[in-house]
Amino acid sequence: MINRENNSQTPIIERPANYKPPRNLSSWLIGRPLSTADAPHETIGKAVGLAVFASDALSSNAYATQEILVILAIAGMQGFQYVVPISIAIVVLLAIVSTSYIQVIHAYPQGGGGYIVARDNLGEFPALVAASSLLMDYVLVVSVSVSSGVAQITSAYPDLYEYRVPLAVASVFLVTLLNLRGLRETGTAIIVPNFFFIIIMLIALGTGVVKYLTGSLGTIVNPPEMVHAHDMATAVTPFLILHAFSSGTAALTGIEAISTGITAFKEPRSKNAAITLTWMAVILSSMFLGISFLSTKIEAVPSEYETVISQIARTSFGGQNLFYTGAILGTTIILMLAANTAFAGFPRLSALMAKDGFMPRQLTYRGSRLVYSRGVVALALVSAVLIVIFQASVTRLIPLYAIGVFLSFTIAQSGMALRWWKSGRVLPGAEVSGQGSTLKFDPFWKVKMLANGFGAFCTAVVMMVFAVTKFKDGAYIVMALIPLMVAVLWAIHRHYRNFARNLSLENIGVIPHHATRHRVILPVSGVHQGTLAALRYARMLSNDVTAVHVVIEPVDAEKVRAKWETWGEGVRMVMLDSPYRLFIEPILQYISEIAGTRQPGETITVVVPEFVTDNRLAGALHMNTADILRDQLKNTHGIVITDVPYHVHEESIV
């Protein structure tokens, strides 16, 4: 057995690594590298947190009302009278969901949102379903918000409509660069445009309401072509109302982002995050109701050519003047920056899942600016692909949107309801440590359990309505992708679990025996200084060294034989005849034969001479035998591939 009592005798030396990354192109693009010690200074306050995490939720005002109108337009102008009642119902649902996530923030101060809640209370499978929904939601946040931002630009400048896809992809690239610079710096950069949007929209809505009350508002002048004008029904049906309601619930997207990124806030984290979420819910509700109210009063119409926000702004401000331009500019910027919410949430959620072994471990590492840069880049690439596939159309992307959001809402609230039920069974004063938090007795557990249970019921109903009403429009894609994503995440987890079990030192029992015999094989293509350097190293490893030369041209083989007899230091050489002029395959076959007859405990080391030149272009002119052999033999037990570099300094070949 292993003697673990002498571990204290093992010498362990600690010393700092004083290496500092040099400035390069990356430093110019995203800023100088930050030390790990700078992490506490990169946290954000409530105002910056509102800009970073609330951009998505606030920006949904730009298209949520329009999506309601798109559906109601099927019934013609008579359907638009239901916009305000539907909007009020959505705001009530928003209040329920926001209250639930405030509870999540206080219960799970380490962040993670619905994924952590489900993992801690419902198990791994529901957690993966919630995580898959959230990950898909974050991708769609980027795609929808950027596409909607481009739609605002094309509303003001119709000539740019045919360039909407390149503009959207370029916008994703710019937001990606911004987020690679770090969360605090990103928040500082976007706080001004975020608050500018809030202020200009409140001015536009306030002006519109005042004009309505004074009777001077009027209706939209030169309305654009209405969506669905060619496909009208004669009556408003309950199915149509539910369909419009499900489309408008896009206003709730982004509510969960703060609960995922609690660790980004300054201390006290939970308090600051909860206050920020409250601010966001109040601002979002007010603006959403205002836009819905004014859209009916000015008789706005849903159109691919001019957004509802544009119609409200030019009606409230009396034309396309400076205030109108400010409203369009502010809306466009907030829609572009709404993607920032996803860039703040997606990498953090991915890192948590990677830490649990459900995503590639590379996602757990922070980049030079203390952000999870691999997650940022992955989100950008997937979102850009989605924009290209759906041609930056908000109406085509929206059906994919909210079903995943409400699935994660439902799972998170169900998990919280179960948590409060368990809290009621903990003795007063006692604590139960869980994987994500500590559970204590809560005297109000019944009220909280009922509140979360009711919230879960409401969001589940909305999810089912959305799945039915939007099924043909594209919801079926999400319903198919979520199980597929869960399967992939579970396969990754199974790989890491099996891998860890094979590498574990627990219950190892007996220390594996050391090799009792060492055999070295030295592939030789020619006899030169690099070959002799590799030979000297091989002889340091073992006295049992065999050089191997593949005979492709007999004349060249005779030259190798003659030189080896002079410079080979008495080491035997095997000449492998290759009638089909193959090089790697005969060596691999020879090594396989030697490995098949080796003795127990014998290790075979393949020592490969490798040329290294300071000229990269010249290096491409040499065959990389070491890499080829390593790729072919790395899965063979008991075989070690060792490179012996021989440095050649030469002038540039160009």
pLDDT band at 508 (very low <50, low <70, confident <90, very high): low
**Is the pLDDT confidence value at 70 over 80?**
yes
Which of 160, 174, 224, 166 has its CA nearest to residue 392?
166
Which structure tokens are listed for 616? Answer: 């990269």
Q: Give helix 124-156 / helix 308-316 axis angle, nearest 10°.
A: 50
In single-letter form, the type of residue at position 312 comes to I
Distances (CA, A) of 49 to 93, 107, 312: 23, 19, 29
The structure tokens 């034989």 sit at 561
pLDDT at 232 over 60: no
**Mean of the pLDDT values across residues 284-306?**
89
Over range 335-361, report the average pLDDT. Answer: 88
- Quick check: bond before 33 cis, omega within 30? no
| Model pLDDT, residue 23 | 76
Q: How far apart are CA 469 and CA 238, in angstroms?
A: 11
- Eight-class DSSP state of 513: P
Helix 64-72 crosses helix 269-297 at what angle (to 10 degrees)? 40
For 543, the token pair is 């006295």
Kindly report the CATH number that applies to the domain delimited by 517-648.
3.40.50.620
pLDDT at 233 over 70: no
Q: What is the pLDDT of residue 172?
A: 92
Tens digits of per-residue pLDDT, 607-623?
988 877 776 665 566 66
Give me the pLDDT at residue 515, please.
Answer: 54
Percent of the chain past pLDDT 70, that is, above it, reads: 91
Please tell us whether the domain made up of 45-494 is placed in CATH 1.10.10.10. no
> 45-494 with 517-648: one CATH topology?
no
135-155 pLDDT, tens per residue?
988 898 898 888 877 887 887
Q: Are 150 and 175 in contact (CB under 8 A)?
A: no
Give the model's pLDDT for residue 229: 47
The pLDDT value given to residue 561: 92
Q: Tokens 């982002």, residue?
A: 257
The confidence band for 652, taking pLDDT boundaries of 50, 70 and 90, is: very low
Helices 373-389, 164-180: inter-axial angle, 10-degree rounding: 170
**CB contact burial 529-562 (16+ within 10 A = b; e otherwise):** ebbeebbeebbebeebbebbbbbbeeeebeebee
* φ, ψ of residue 577 in degrees (nearest 5): -75, 130
What helix, strand, coil percent values describe the chain, rounded to 5?
Answer: 65, 10, 25
The position carrying tokens 């309401």 is 209
pLDDT at 161: 86
- Lookup: tokens for 319: 């034309």
The burial class, CB within 10 Å (0-12 / 13-18 / 19+), for 358 is: buried
pLDDT value at residue 444: 87
- Looking at residue 234, what is its pLDDT? 59
Q: Where are the domains of the chain?
A: 45-494, 517-648
What's the rounded Cα separation, in Å, for the pair 504 and 514? 19
* C-alpha to C-alpha distance for 351 and 358, rounded to whole angstroms: 10
The answer to whether 237 and 68 have CB atoms below 8 angstroms apart is: no
Mean residue pLDDT of the chain comes to 84
Record the tokens describing residue 565, joined without a space: 């007899």
More confident residue, 503 or 333: 333
